[in-house]
Structure 1
């Protein structure tokens, strides 16, 4: 979709716009209300633009006009924000810039062009230099505004040491761990629209978020460690509880919610940065090795660097490895071209997906196909919808989180037709249904007088006297877990509600561990 010509002069004007000292003063309730209203207008315009992308991809002539109108709305909001006290213009600019980069080509989308690895345009935020020289602190206001347009990404460079330890970390990410780094990048890009606002609200560099996430979980929302850490940002239960994470009353642990976890991680890191004189290395050491230890070492060695031998050697080996690896991942996020690294293009414009038919994430993954990705959409769907297990049946009419690209593929391939039917067949297939048993069955027939016993009423074996029949709903069946069984297979085989089945058998999310020979009560199952 072409970008409105008004975008160029607007951005040029914003570059020259000085940051007024009034913006730093106390904001009145009236000004804050006006700023909040502008933020809501920006969100509405962003949604309007996203909807226009969907229309354009379906060759709807309204898409072009709606997209241009939405961009004009955003430009008007930015213009008003620049004059409104208390308005966070850098946050609105981040949304505006991201949408300016969105491009929809319905024809290439239908043909399934593979954009992975393409480098059709240079990253405007990566100039190829190593940015290792500390920046001058005496930066004029106009240059600070330019830095806002730069998403403050390269500010990170002057906050950390680019030393041989970090370079060794970069080497590891680029060799044995290159695939993990690429996976982390793709996972982050799909989550970025959700995660970035909460992180940037604290003033922390975006690259730091990516570095922590890549090292902690590789961008996988449902990861748990043997030590008890869980989620995208790997919070331990006690620390997570301090920052509002944990069981929410529905059986869901919000440490697995990527937005809540990132919001908590931003609060935690900002708290540590405030205590440790904005020192990223010490703050990262606290995140990994414990805030008590990091704070004590910092106080015992005022003015010392994390890399000073007397400081560095007091941290455990895990933390000594963790700090440079996080910084290295962040560095590569900022400067991929310098290291011959090409990150894949990810079409992650957020969009709601309303299910026309009951489906699971497994089924959606199959029917959506690869769709210009390396590995399909299963990880993205799971990350965006952390409350659903992959095998859970999601009722028709439900709305899940997705991208505009996924929505287009869903409407084309998953609502009806051979791809949709094949996906459903594969997801509901079981090994048991393939086993043929042609052996003769022996049937025992009871001989005796059965007259006078009402049809359908069970009798006792000893007397033949009738006894009250129990309603079918109260007769809970059971299933013996076989080797290789998972809860997802059992749910698919017996058409069960995952949560009800898990609750009846004391199975805990998200792992739902089963043991061969275990007897399951088939509660909440239709077959």
Structure 2
């Protein structure tokens, strides 16, 4: 059965299960001993699940026809049982939805041959450019043996085994697919151009690429020079002290937290260290990355074996960390399974290249002369900055300077930026004299009025030294008290006092 057909059937099955939930609300009974009819449906559900798992083993052995047949029968059985569940009093449709979630996640790392060999081509899991089966956009990354397992395994576990598809994660999936969809797409494009620098560091640490993408998407969106309000910097947002701990220092005036390769290496070391501390609990590790490992270690020590989502842990987390963990996991999950969520990643050719300047130019000027070449409607500024993080984009680089660029921009530079009208235009814009308004003259406070003589004032009912002083522009309460020899600021009705006359 082709991968697309399997996915379609799984999707239709999920809709049927949800429909069963909606229609079965009136058929439930109080919790208690299940009826024989309900137990029979649960048995069919378990049989369907085992049948689907058996099809995976058949696919691994290369028996594709048998795998297709077993898988189809299992899905049909599960669909029929779930439909009957919605009509059977006491049956819990949520149990069927949970099974569906698990079967969908079995696509992650389970199929080495058969249907998913087609599905793997053109996804991040295979190392190939989306839509370009068998080709690697990055030199030295494609053609990895068992590439899918390399991506999805984490400390001997499939990434799917470490994912809890609960409410917070599903809410995060919806957020990425709706309000934050542009951010997710930008992060993906930015990552693909930096992939050859970042992914090898994770691969060497035997960590899943999807996790790297998920952290980067949430932390910076793939903007190498991102700096948070708290001072966290770089594509993976290291605090200064934590960066130093993992080798990210300031060298020749350059903050190494902005280097995508060094940041990925430090991040991999951090994740590996914390997985050891938290017994491979990915959620607690991510919470430590966001909220501080000291705090997480104290909570984990006080609640051994408790998951991140347990109220004993979850309720002590800051709102930011409670949001951070599922958002990272959701982005990682979408990186692996875009088709399952009606998401299509853009095709990005991230093969690395380089240019040598034939005329002086800044990154800003190169961005102008390259325009929207190769279909980059947003321009190349972000990519040029990400690949050359040590350079100030406004400073003109001399002839002979070597710059890292995507391979496809080598020809663009030769045709549009080495000569002709576009570099002249770019230089003219860059060299424009910016008008600087002169600073406003300092505002001088008017000199306070000085007293000139005095006049007599008769105290009336309700008068106080404060109210009388307000009528004078050159005397305050203490002035009046000294002038009239008043102690305690006491006044009597009919009393005559002197008030300064201001000039």
**Do Structure 1 and Structure 2 share a fold, with TM-score over 0.5?**
yes
Residue of structure 1 aligned with 2:421, choices 418, 421, 427: 418
Residues 131 and 347 in structure 2, CA contact (< 8 A), matched pair in contact too? no
Matches within 5 A, 1:483-494: none
TM-score, normalised to structure 2, is: 0.57
Q: Residue deviations 1:431-475, cap 9 Å, x none?
A: 44xxxxxxxxxxxxxxxxxxxxxxxxxxxxxxxxxxxxxxxxxxx
Residue of structure 1 aligned with 2:306, choices 293, 304, 307: 304
Residue of structure 2 aligned with 1:162, choices 143, 162, 165: 165
Residues 356 and 415 in structure 1, CA contact (< 8 A), matched pair in contact too? yes
Residue of structure 2 aligned with 1:356, choices 319, 341, 358: 358
Residue of structure 1 aligned with 2:242, choices 223, 239, 242: 239
**Runs of at least 4 residues of structure 1 off by over 4 A?**
119-125, 479-483
Provide the C-alpha distance between the structure 1 equivalents of 2:337 and 2:439, rounded to a whole number of angstroms.
50
Residue of structure 2 aligned with 1:175, choices 173, 178, 189: 178
Residues 414 and 420 in structure 1, CA contact (< 8 A), matched pair in contact too? yes
Equivalent position SS for 2:354: strand
| Offset of residue 361 of structure 1 | 0.4
| Offset of residue 151 of structure 1 | 3.8
Provide the C-alpha distance between the structure 2 equivalents of 1:370 and 1:360, rounded to a whole number of angstroms.
17
Sort the Cα spacing of 1:425 and 1:188 in 2 relative to 1 into closer, same or farther, 3 A. same
Larger Rg: 2
Residue 153 of structure 1: aligned partner: 152
Provide the C-alpha distance between the structure 2 equivalents of 1:124 and 1:413, rounded to a whole number of angstroms.
28
| Offset of residue 150 of structure 1 | 4.7
Provide the C-alpha distance between the structure 1 equivalents of 2:176 and 2:167, rounded to a whole number of angstroms.
14
Q: Is residue 266 from structure 1 mapped to residue 268 from structure 2 by the alignment?
A: yes
Residue 392 of structure 2: aligned partner: 389
| Offset of residue 343 of structure 1 | 1.5
Q: Residue deviations 1:36-64, cap 9 Å, x none?
A: xxxxxxxxxxxxxxxxxxxxxxxxxxxxx
| Offset of residue 147 of structure 1 | 4.0
Residue 276 of structure 1: aligned partner: 278
Sort the Cα spacing of 1:397 and 1:480 in 2 relative to 1 into closer, same or farther, 3 A. farther
Q: Residue deviations 1:369-398, cap 9 Å, x none?
A: 112123111101101101111101111101
Provide the C-alpha distance between the structure 2 equivalents of 1:148 and 1:343, rounded to a whole number of angstroms.
19
Equivalent position SS for 1:152: helix
Q: Residue deviations 1:190-210, cap 9 Å, x none?
A: 110000111111111111100
Sort the Cα spacing of 1:257 and 1:124 in 2 relative to 1 into closer, same or farther, 3 A. closer
Matches within 5 A, 1:157-236: 157-236=160-239
Residue 76 of structure 1: aligned partner: none
Residues 197 and 261 in structure 2, CA contact (< 8 A), matched pair in contact too? yes
Residues 346 and 373 in structure 1, CA contact (< 8 A), matched pair in contact too? no
TM-score, normalised to structure 1, is: 0.55
CA RMSD of aligned residues (A): 2.8
Provide the C-alpha distance between the structure 1 equivalents of 2:382 and 2:333, rounded to a whole number of angstroms.
25
Residue 516 of structure 1: aligned partner: none
Sort the Cα spacing of 1:298 and 1:149 in 2 relative to 1 into closer, same or farther, 3 A. same
Matches within 5 A, 1:30-109: 98=127, 101=128
Q: Is residue 398 from structure 1 mapped to residue 397 from structure 2 by the alignment?
A: no
Q: Which runs of 5+ in 1 are unaligned?
A: 1-14, 17-93, 103-118, 126-144, 433-478, 484-527
Residues 257 and 263 in structure 2, CA contact (< 8 A), matched pair in contact too? yes
Residue 485 of structure 2: aligned partner: none
Structure with the greater relative contact order (CA < 8 A, sep ≥ 6): 1 or 2? 1
